[in-house]
Amino acid sequence: MINRLLICIYFLVLSSLTASLSFESLSLHFTRRAFSTVSSSTLIGLTTSTTSTSTLSSSNGEEQYWNRETSSRKQYQDSKPISQMANIICLSDPHDDANQRLYHGNLPKGAQVIAVGSEIDHFDIGKLKEANANVIFVSHPKSREPLAKLIQQVPSIQWIHSRSAGIDFITSNELSNCGAMVTNAKGCFSSTLAEYTMMAISFFAKDLPRLLKQKHSKTWEKYCVEEIRGKTLGIIGYGDIGRAAGTLAKAYGMKVIALRRNPQNSQGDPICDEVYSNDKTSLCRLVSKSDYILCAAPLTPETRGLIDEKVFSSAKKNSVFINVGRGPIVEEDALIEALKNGPLKGAALDVVATEPLPKDSELWTLENVLLSPHNMDMTETFMHEATEFFIEENLPRFLRNDPLLNLVDKVAGY
Amino acid sequence: MSNTQYWNRETSTIKQYSTPVTQQANIICISDPNDKANQKLYEGNLEGAKILAIGSQMSDFDIDLLRASNANVIFASHPNSREPLKMLLQEIPSIQWIHCRSAGIDSIASEELASSSVLMTNAKGAFSSTLAEYTMMAIAYFAKDLPRLLKQKDDRNWEKYCIEEIRGKTLGVVGYGDIGRAAAKLAKAYGMTVKALRRNPQHSQDDPICDEVYSNDKTSLHRIMSESDYILCAAPLTPESKGMFDEEAFASAKKNCVFINVGRGPIVEESALIGALKNGHLKGAALDVVAIEPLPKDSELWDLPNVLISPHNMDMTETFTQEATEFFIEENLPRFVRNELLLNPVDKVAGY
C-alpha cells in the first residue's frame, strides 16, 4: 500500500517536472543579441508539444544524438550485462551489400536476425510472434505498407530502427500510434552534405558554368569571381546537417542565420549568428537576408510545400537555393518560376519532388540549375556505416535497456 | 621576420596614425593611367606623399625631372613593369622603396632589382582567402565528380553514383605561405590531414593547421606527392621553384592524386603534367595558372577532360586590385612617411 502511494507520488512529481520543463522552454528569453529579431509573436512554433525525449534533450542533448564526426564509440564488452534479447526483423533487400554484416556477421550477444524481407508476404507472422520479434530494422525504400502491417500484426515489436535519416518514407498512422520507439540515422550523413553545400555555393560564386563553357570554346577570358567570405548562408532546418553546413560556412567567414522549430535550442550557438522560429514571416525574412539558402529540413506534414511562391518572391536578388532535405518541401513550379524570372540566380538540388526526376521536367534544361541524383551523401561506405551504427551503437543499448540514440519524434516526423 | 611584418586581409587590424610625418614620399607609378583600381592613388590626396609620374614605358618618364624631384618611391602595377623598373633603378639613385601591387613579383624581378639595395614590398596576404575558396572548390570538383553530374544533366540521366568524402583525405601544400596557409585552414575545417612543404620548415613548428611539414628538397617533394590525395602548389615563382614539378615528381604522385596550381605556371613542367594527366598518374588537375598566359589555343590542356582551367582569375574579385592599391595607400605609405617598418618585405634574392 505504502509502495503504491510512493509510486503515485513519484509519478506525480515526475509529470509535474516534465510539465514545468515544457513551460520553461516556452517562456525562455532570448538574450543573445541576435535574438532581438525574434519577437514573441513568432514563438508560434513552440506551442506544438514536444515529447518528453525532446525536453530531456535540452538538459543532456549531446548524448542522445549521434554525430559521426564527433561522437565517441561506447565500449560494451561485458561491462554491463544484457537484460533482454533482440529478435530482429529486417525490412530490407536480402541482397543489400551494406547489410551483410547484419545478416551474416557477428552481432552482439543476445541479438539475432529472425527474418529478412521487403514485402509482407515474405514474412510468416505466426513464426515471428513465436520468436518474440521485438525489433524491426528498416532499410528497404518500399517499407511503408509492410511496416504498418507488421506493427499491427506483431504486438511484441518494441523498437523500429530506420537505416536512413529521413523517415518520411515509412510514416503512417500505425507508426504514429504504436508504442514502439523509433530511431534513425541522424548524424550519419551530415558532413558529406556540408561538403556538397559548399561546393554548390562555389559553383555559383566562381561561375563554374562559365569556366566550363570557356574551356569548351578554348576561350581565355578573365572575369570577376565572387567571394564566399562575408556572404550570408540562411539555413532552413537547423538539424545535424544544417549545423554541419553552418560549421563549414563559418570557417569560410560566412554569416550564418538559421530557422528551426525550436530556436531556443540554438541559444549560445557559436555557429549561428541569428536564429528564427518556424513561421512564414520569419521564413520570408530569412530568405530576404540570405545570399545562399540551404534547405536541410526533414519532410513532415508541416514542411511539405513550405517553400512556395511567397517565399521565393521574398528571396534576395541573385540568391542561390540549395536543397539537401526533401523535394516536396519545395513547390517545384514556384522554384522553376523563380529560376527563370528571378530573384534566384540559380539552384543546386540533390533532391527533387519526384525521384528519379521525370525526363520532361524543366529542371533538366535550366542552365542555372545544378542537379544531382540524390547521391551527394552516397559514399561507398555510408550505408555500411549506417548499418554498423545500428549494430554497434543502438543494438548494444537496446540489449541492456539503455536509452537509445537518435530517438525520433513520430508525431513531428523527424 | 615576425608576424607583425606581414599583412593578412582577414586578420590584420587597420592601424591609426597619430605620429607626425618625417619624410616626403615622391611616387613614380609604373601603371596604366586608366587603371580604375588605382584612382584613389592617382587622385593624390595622400598624406606626406605626391605622385610625380604615371606611365608604363620608359619614354613616359622624364628622368631629369624625376631626379630633380627626388623620386624615392615606385608603385608598380603594370604587367610590363620589368624593363621600366630596371631603367628607373639605374637612373634614379634616390629610389628607396618599390611596392608591387600584386603578390607575385616574378613579373618584375631582374638582376638589377636583386642586386639593388632598395626596400621592396608586395601584396602578400591580400588575395589568400579567395584562392583558398578556389582550392576547396577544385577539390570538391573532383571528389563529387562534378563533370559527371554535368554530363548526366545534359543527357537527362538520373543515375546514382558514389561520391568521395573530402574529410579524412590529405592535402599536400607546396609553398606554405599566406595562400598555402589559408587553404590549409579551410582544409582542416573539412577534416582533412594537411602536410606542407616549405623552405623554412622550422617556421611551422607547432603550427596547429599543419600536421606534418617537409623541407624543400627533392626527396621531400616526392614524399609529399606520394602521401597526398590533393596537391596544392601555392609557391612563388623563383629560380629555385621553376620547373620543380617535373616528370619524376608526378611519377611519385599517390594514385588518383589531383594537382591544383594557384602559384605560377612555370613552377610546373607542363609537358610532364600533361603526360601524367594522360597516363593516369594524376586523376586530374585544376589550374588557375599556366606556363604561358593566355593559354595558347593549341595547348593540349584545353582538350583533356580531367582538367579544370581558369584564366588566372580565381582571386579576381571586383574589388581586389582596388583593395591592393588601398593597402599601399593606407598601410605602407603612412609607415614610409613616418620612417616606420614597412609591411610585407620581399626577399629580392629569394624572389618572394
Characterize A66-94 residue by residue with b for buried, 16 or more Cβ atoms within 10 angstroms of its Cβ, and e for exposed: bbbeeeeeeebeeeeebeebbbbbbbbbe
pLDDT band at residue B350 under the 50/70/90 scheme: confident
* Contact between chains at B141 and A208 (C-beta distance less than 8 A): yes
pLDDT band at residue A189 under the 50/70/90 scheme: confident
Cell numbers given for A346: 540559380
* Contact between chains at A375 and B318 (C-beta distance less than 8 A): no
- Amino acid found at A8: C
Name which of A384-388, B17-21, B93-97, B290-294 the model is least confident about.
Answer: B17-21
Name which of B151-165, B200-214, B283-297 the model is least confident about.
Answer: B200-214
| pLDDT value for A411 | 79
Q: Cis ω on the peptide bond leading into residue B296 (within 30° of 0)?
A: no
pLDDT higher than threshold 90 for residue A217? yes
Secondary structure of chain B in HEC code, one letter for each residue: CCHHHCCCCCCCCCCCCCCCCCCCEEEEEECCCCCHHHHHHHHCCCCCEEEEEEECCHHHCCHHHHHHCCCCEEEECCCCCHHHHHHHHHHCCCCCEEEECCCCCCCCCCHHHHHCCCEEECCCCCCHHHHHHHHHHHHHHHHCCHHHHHHHHHCCCCCCCCCCCCCCCEEEEECCCHHHHHHHHHHHHCCCEEEEEECCHHHHCCCCCCCEEEECCHHHHHHHHHHCCEEEECCCCCCCCCCCECHHHHHCCCCCEEEEECCCHHHECHHHHHHHHHCCCEEEEEECCCCCCCCCCCCHHHCCCCEEECCCCCCCCCCHHHHHHHHHHHHHHHHHHCCCCCCCECCCCCCC
Distance (Å) from the alpha carbon of A23 to chain B's nearest alpha carbon: 38
CA atoms of B140 and B144, how far apart (whole Å): 6
| pLDDT value for A5 | 62
CA atoms of B112 and B114, how far apart (whole Å): 6
pLDDT higher than threshold 80 for residue B133? yes
Name which of A12-26, A319-333, B86-100 the model is least confident about.
Answer: A12-26
A199, A221, A357: residue with CB nearest B144:
A199
Residue numbers in A near B134 (CB within 8 A):
202, 206, 225
pLDDT higher than threshold 80 for residue A56? no
The model's pLDDT over A96-115, given as tens digits with 9 standing for 90+, comes to 999 999 999 899 999 999 99
Q: Which of B134, B145, B156, B318 to mutate to test the interface with A (most CBs of A within 10 A)?
A: B156
| pLDDT value for A247 | 96
Q: Is A211 on the interface with B (CB under 8 A)?
A: yes
Nearest CA in chain B to A225: B317
Q: What is the mean pLDDT of residues A144-158?
A: 96
| pLDDT value for B6 | 81
| pLDDT value for A251 | 96
Distance (Å) from the alpha carbon of B149 to chain A's nearest alpha carbon: 6
Nearest CA in chain B to A69: B191
* Contact between chains at A195 and B167 (C-beta distance less than 8 A): yes
Q: Is A88 on the interface with B (CB under 8 A)?
A: no
Distance (Å) from the alpha carbon of B328 to chain A's nearest alpha carbon: 22
Q: pLDDT > 90: what percent of chain A?
A: 73
Is A374 catalytic? The answer is yes
pLDDT band at residue B4 under the 50/70/90 scheme: low
- Amino acid found at A403: P
Q: Is A218 on the interface with B (CB under 8 A)?
A: yes
| pLDDT value for A25 | 32
A195, A357, A359: residue with CB nearest B166:
A195
- Amino acid found at A228: I
| pLDDT value for B117 | 93
* Contact between chains at A222 and B312 (C-beta distance less than 8 A): yes
Is A355 catalytic? The answer is yes
* Contact between chains at B133 and A229 (C-beta distance less than 8 A): yes
Which of B347, B314, B299, B348 is CA-nearest to residue B111? Answer: B348
CA atoms of A38 and A281, how far apart (whole Å): 11
Name residues 250-269 of chain A within 8 A of B (Cβ). Answer: 251-253
| pLDDT value for B78 | 94
Higher-confidence residue: B351 or A195?
Answer: A195
Q: Is A19 on the interface with B (CB under 8 A)?
A: no
Cβ atoms of residues A326 and A350 within 8 Å: no
Q: What is the mean pLDDT of residues A267-290?
A: 95
A202, A218, A253: residue with CB nearest B129:
A253
pLDDT band at residue B94 under the 50/70/90 scheme: very high
Q: Is A247 on the interface with B (CB under 8 A)?
A: yes
CA atoms of A162 and A311, how far apart (whole Å): 32
Is A163 catalytic? The answer is no
Give, in order, the Cα–Cα distances in Å from A53 to each of A59, A141, B53, B296: 10, 27, 74, 64
Q: pLDDT > 70: what percent of chain A?
A: 84
Among residues A32, A374, A384, A400, which one is catalytic?
A: A374
Higher-confidence residue: B256 or B3?
Answer: B256
Mean pLDDT in chain B?
93
* Contact between chains at B141 and A199 (C-beta distance less than 8 A): yes
Which of B332, B349, B322, B352 is CA-nearest to residue B97? Answer: B332
| pLDDT value for A63 | 64
Q: What is the mean pLDDT of residues A348-365?
A: 97
The model's pLDDT over B213-268, given as tens digits with 9 standing for 90+, comes to 999 999 999 999 999 999 999 999 999 999 999 999 999 999 999 999 999 999 99
Nearest CA in chain A to B165: A192
Please give the angle made by the CA atoms of B332, B337 and B343, to the nearest 5 degrees: 25
pLDDT higher than threshold 60 for residue A42? no
Quote the pTM value. Answer: 0.84
Name residues 379-398 of chain A within 8 A of B (Cβ). Answer: 379-380
pLDDT band at residue A410 under the 50/70/90 scheme: confident
* Contact between chains at A373 and B152 (C-beta distance less than 8 A): yes
pLDDT higher than threshold 90 for residue A69? no
Cβ atoms of residues B104 and B77 within 8 Å: no
